[in-house]
A and B are shown apart, each in its own frame.
Chain A
């Protein structure tokens, strides 16, 4: 929390015009204080009633150690943890690396590339659930669009995607990458645009072009941004429910569930919310260090700027 705070404080001018008169800053009195409190109360009320209380209640629901023993003894759980590791590990890293490379492609000054960027970010603009349902239909076996294309255009009999655990898991990962890669590409594009041209000119004089320019100039300058984005994406992917639920739906036989979908299954399909919470909370030992590292890194980035 303090890290975020410092980030925001650091990014702020010391004395701005049009602010409240300086004499009152930090110690409001009388009616001003009343107004200030009245303005913050709606936000605080929503925050405590719909964020703090549900979180506390969730932690309270998952307080019994026996819940975790039960969850871990479920053979489903181990497989789900492996799936989650693959989903997050492969999904995030492949996505980030491709996004970094593609952001270089979109830096090219061609009009058709600018137009292509608009189409390329379309998946990000589309709502996630219909998009993932479309993936599900596209892969639903011989009648799906992908297998139809393989048959009609290339004469190949495509696999039945959701009958095979590896293929189903890969489908989920690909769909997730399809949905979120544009966001990270745009962020890396902004990062690349922020690099001063002089640095590239100097590198050009020194004879660094192509791959060497990328390895020795661009990547070191983007490294911190890349790390922050990877951490943030890892945290979000860990909690992602839509990809696994709407693309493969856990098929075949719930073997492609991730922690988020298994938790929801326990809570809503089996009516055991405590077990669902326990499944979710079992990711905390991974989640908390990630959040701490992320905050340190965000702070470092702000100081650097």
Chain B
């Protein structure tokens, strides 16, 4: 970039000035690198989404020759056998999010009130123990969780997912509410 010209006139410019220009140039280069680094996978998502529906999904171009919003229309109109239940799946996600947020806030605020305002020592021990779930690999928990959910009669049930999410989110909510 603009690094090259600044090398040319070291004699005329004071050293600190040249150094400042070099720093600016280097940070501009770093800025461009970071921009590309951060946005390339995001751009790739957009590229594939704008590619018209067809057999050759990965045709190997940097920009689709005729970008279209057709794919989005296929999704919202459930126009593909794989997307037949799109809106009910969308509803599930919404339900999951709202139920998790509501229950986390409810359970978390009740518990943090007791711990913080009423100073129930044993409860504090319990909420701190909850933070230990953060150092537990969640992929380990996934395997026994399936059989536990089955034994609770929650297999194929959205509430098994909600329970898992609430379990992970509540200790953090309590920690935040205690501040």
Contacts and interface: CB of A to CB of B under 8 A. Distances in A.
Contacts of B42: 122-123, 126, 134
Contacts, number: 207
Interface residues of A, number: 82
B114 interface: yes
A253 interface: no
A92 interface: no
A26 B119 contact: yes
B73 to A, nearest CB: 20
A294 B170 contact: no
Q: Number of contact residues on B: which range applies?
A: 35 or more
B166 to A, nearest CB: 6
Contact of A54 (B27, B139, B145): B145
A20 to B, nearest CB: 5
Given A8-B128, A105-B30, A116-B31, A57 B147 contact: yes
Interface of B: 27, 30-31, 34-35, 37-45, 47-48, 58-62, 106-108, 110-111, 113-121, 123-133, 135-148, 152, 163-164, 166-167, 170, 174, 178
25 contacts: A1-B132, A5-B125, A8-B124, A40-B126, A44-B126, A46-B167, A47-B170, A50-B164, A50-B167, A58-B140, A102-B34, A116-B34, A119-B39, A137-B44, A143-B59, A143-B60, A145-B44, A178-B38, A235-B135, A241-B138, A241-B139, A263-B143, A267-B142, A280-B137, A280-B140
B143 A8 contact: no
A243 to B, nearest CB: 11
B125 A1 contact: yes
Contacts of A138: 40-41, 44
B27 A105 contact: yes
Contact of A152 (B62, B114, B128, B167): B62
Secondary structure of the A contact surface, majority rule = helix
Secondary structure at the B interface, as helix, strand, loop or mixed, is helix
A49 B152 contact: yes
Interface string A217-244: 0000000000000001001101111000
B93 to A, nearest CB: 11
A100 B26 CA distance: 17
A134 B31 CA distance: 23
A144 B48 CA distance: 10
Contacts of A110: 27
Q: Which 9 residue pairs of A and B lie closest in terms of their CB atoms, listed nearest first?
A: A239-B137, A143-B58, A58-B144, A43-B111, A260-B139, A50-B167, A280-B140, A241-B139, A39-B110
A40 to B, nearest CB: 5
A279 to B, nearest CB: 9
Contacts of B135: 232, 235, 287, 291, 294
